[in-house]
Chains A and B, each alone.
Chain A
């Protein structure tokens, strides 16, 4: 049984190319990532909703995503900036690794992260988590700013629960909205029932949980001699860099999983919106039975990562040839590991830098330009 499963996985992963035409076929929904390549939002985006369906910037979305976006005017802008944020953060977190989060806007609707997202490795887990987190974060932020009209901070007095006069939950609701929106928007894509989709769903949710749990509500009392006549509250949403950092931590400690013994469960759930939405529940076990079951915040994967040493057109990765490496580090960014033992060439170059900057009253900083000799190492 165990062998069978692994064999199946092997098939799935090694034959990505052959299956692509029939089964996987570039997950359609992930095309929204390419919103990141859109320029500044045009004014059309803020125009009446009816136009939205024809708006070219909605093209990468699926039908249901478009519906969701149209229902919540302004959210497309947030999604777009979320996509940008995700790519930027991914590149930042992985800048010193062999896989440095390469992106490619080919304009043909393919995933901008390349085919790595069709794998089930750590890197793909991170991509799913960070993009889903970015949407949640960006939408929550946009809510607080009033960019999305369906979720502005509600300050109407009559909506506040009686007796709790100084409660103000506007922005925690924004975070909830962002979470829910991201869930609807991102998870729509994972319609399948197979293990890969379940893994992706888990990683999506893990990304969002990192955003929601970074939300803190602070309050302060003001009044005569420290009494509490006026109480003001505000939310602090952690910066996306912190979300990225903690997701990177989870990437390092990601859990390898196998499908659970009881297979996949697809529970019918008739409560909720009444349409009998199917709640898909992922059942899996850690590959190493001695490890504890991965929690809500943990990233999971089921496939080994490629080495990312050589150029792999299929994955959209260029290999590490020509990458700069750190000559003194023995870590992952060091030349030994980065260049996969192929060696590296060292070159000296002349850089021009600003130096000897002085502050002049008021208010100029005047610098000289110095030429500095620098060394860099490049992988062969």
Chain B
């Protein structure tokens, strides 16, 4: 009996392969043997989908540590070490140059040269040969400026913008491989902003004369801001380098340490924890939130690292020392409104867009100014359908939200505008009123929802290295039925009606 025990079914190898359900039922009807364990197994496995391809389970924390956190840290350390070293070198040189008296101190051009050379070294350590595109763009603009400043000084900004846009588009469309371009795009955007702001400043007379080549290169390739940004204006740069009060104080060290550590923490969260906390089989809106959050944290980490490198190299921001000057995550993760998100996403870039696009175009009409601001922002990011779609959606959403909340605020006389009320406002219901709190909370929730929807396509899928395609975006949004767009449209129509 023992020998025959498994023979009934066991002989068949994998009996399920190629056996349809009807065949199985027929077999069972004609089958008059004992109900063997093998048969039971077989029936059970037939009922359940056989060997599900992916098993979702939260791995152990130690596993996450070994497989994700450690590699992330080692790679990050390896990548960032040169940049940080160059920044420290520059800071020390800067410090030494201020030690001497006015007549014996290091000449200015030497400091600018150091800034440029170290910046180029940093660029080289990140982008290798692709650094050339950035260098070429930089000097192309310089030659243009040196011609234009003779003829028509106030056109400098416009000429700079045209040159940078044309250069970027040509590179993106014809000359540079998608992957390489995608890699250097961040540095290109920073350069873009620096060059145009300098052009406009020259045109308006804020910067008296065209800086010398060395000064210009020192500004464009400034070691602390060349890779991750943030954008700084030329006067800000010059002031930072000249400033005598620039000491190696405790606050300075504290800020560098804090921003670096936070940068690494955010990056670790983006890489490892988002996917660990919300598993792949969750509800699709949770997944959207997860992917969007992963993208947002990646942005914070870059922003904080940029603040760390720029502070380390001695750039001074206007704000108080221990305030975040690039991105403010708490205002984005728990937003009051989308307007607040847009502002706090990248403060220097926000300032740049406001100063060099919005304010310049405003005399020709506010609506045009808004449109052009978002267009400029989209152009900055290159010809990328995904980013353009997100930016224009964001523009539409935040505009709708702004006007809608303003209207509501008027009607109810309450502090429910997109921006926070001032301390002493003349609204009847101030922010301590429970209804105001509830309304604001509801708008916060709406903002979080919109953000999840907008950010979800940055999901580090295959297209990431070259930039995502249009289809990727539309596919992602259509999987959520364009719900967020419909809601925004509904809000807008509602605003029209009231």
Interface window among A181-189, A194-202, A238-246, A368-376: A238-246
B67 touches A236 (CB 8 A): yes
Would you list which residues of chain B between 1 and 54 have a CB under 8 Å from chain A?
1-3, 5-7, 10-14, 16-18, 35-37, 40-42, 44-45, 50-51
Partner of A224, one of B2, B40, B186: B186
* B185 contacts A by Cβ under 8 Å: yes
* A314 contacts B by Cβ under 8 Å: no
* A145 contacts B by Cβ under 8 Å: yes
Q: Mark A131-175, 1 if CB is under 8 A from B, else 0.
A: 000000000010011000000010101000001011010110000
B14 touches A153 (CB 8 A): no
Chain A interface size, under 10 / 10 to 19 / 20 to 34 / 35 or more: 35 or more
A249 touches B51 (CB 8 A): yes
Q: Within the complex, what minimum Cβ distance (angstroms) separates B13 from chain A?
A: 4
A168 touches B59 (CB 8 A): no
B14 touches A229 (CB 8 A): no
Kindly state the separation between the CA atoms of A226 and B189 in the bound complex, as whole angstroms: 12
Partner of A144, one of B67, B187, B271, B301: B67
The interface residues of chain B lying within 8 Å CB-to-CB of A294 are 13
The interface residues of chain A lying within 8 Å CB-to-CB of B227 are 229
B44 touches A331 (CB 8 A): yes
B460 touches A221 (CB 8 A): yes
Partner of A229, one of B44, B67, B186: B186
Tell me the nearest residue of chain A to B43, going by C-beta: A331
* B426 contacts A by Cβ under 8 Å: no
A229 touches B183 (CB 8 A): yes
A235 touches B71 (CB 8 A): yes
Q: Within the complex, what minimum Cβ distance (angstroms) separates A73 from chain B?
A: 20
Interface window among B75-83, B254-262, B413-421: B75-83
B66 touches A224 (CB 8 A): no
How many residue pairs between the two chains, A and B, have CB atoms under 8 Å in the bound complex?
189
Kindly state the separation between the CA atoms of A252 and B9 in the bound complex, as whole angstroms: 11
Q: Within the complex, what minimum Cβ distance (angstroms) separates A289 from chain B?
A: 10
The interface residues of chain B lying within 8 Å CB-to-CB of A224 are 185-187, 189-190, 228-229, 302
Partner of A220, one of B17, B67, B126, B298: B298
Tell me the nearest residue of chain B to A248, going by C-beta: B51
Partner of A230, one of B6, B79, B464: B79
Q: Mark A220-232, 1 if CB is under 8 A from B, else 0.
A: 1111111111111
Q: Within the complex, what minimum Cβ distance (angstroms) separates A298 from chain B?
A: 8
The interface residues of chain B lying within 8 Å CB-to-CB of A232 are 71-72, 75-76, 267, 271
Q: Mark A303-334, 1 if CB is under 8 A from B, else 0.
A: 01111010000000000000000000011100
Going nearest first, the 10 A-B pairs with the smallest beta carbon separation are A224-B186, A253-B14, A227-B185, A227-B186, A255-B13, A249-B51, A223-B186, A332-B37, A234-B71, A234-B68
A-B pairs with beta carbons under 8 Å apart, 30 shown:
A122-B10, A145-B66, A155-B75, A171-B71, A219-B464, A220-B464, A221-B464, A224-B187, A224-B228, A226-B299, A226-B467, A227-B185, A227-B186, A228-B182, A229-B187, A229-B302, A232-B72, A234-B271, A238-B55, A249-B45, A253-B45, A253-B50, A254-B13, A287-B11, A304-B3, A304-B10, A305-B6, A306-B5, A309-B2, A332-B37
Using A229-B186, A236-B59 as known contacts, list a sample of 18 further A-B pairs with CB atoms less than 8 Å apart, ordered by residue number in A.
A144-B66, A155-B78, A218-B460, A220-B298, A221-B465, A228-B179, A228-B465, A232-B75, A233-B75, A236-B68, A252-B42, A253-B50, A286-B13, A287-B11, A291-B17, A291-B18, A306-B2, A331-B37
Binding site for A on B (CB under 8 A): 1-3, 5-7, 10-14, 16-18, 35-37, 40-42, 44-45, 50-51, 55, 57, 59-60, 63, 66-68, 70-72, 74-76, 78-79, 126-128, 179, 182-187, 189-190, 227-229, 267, 270-272, 294-295, 298-299, 301-302, 380-381, 387, 458, 460, 464-465, 467
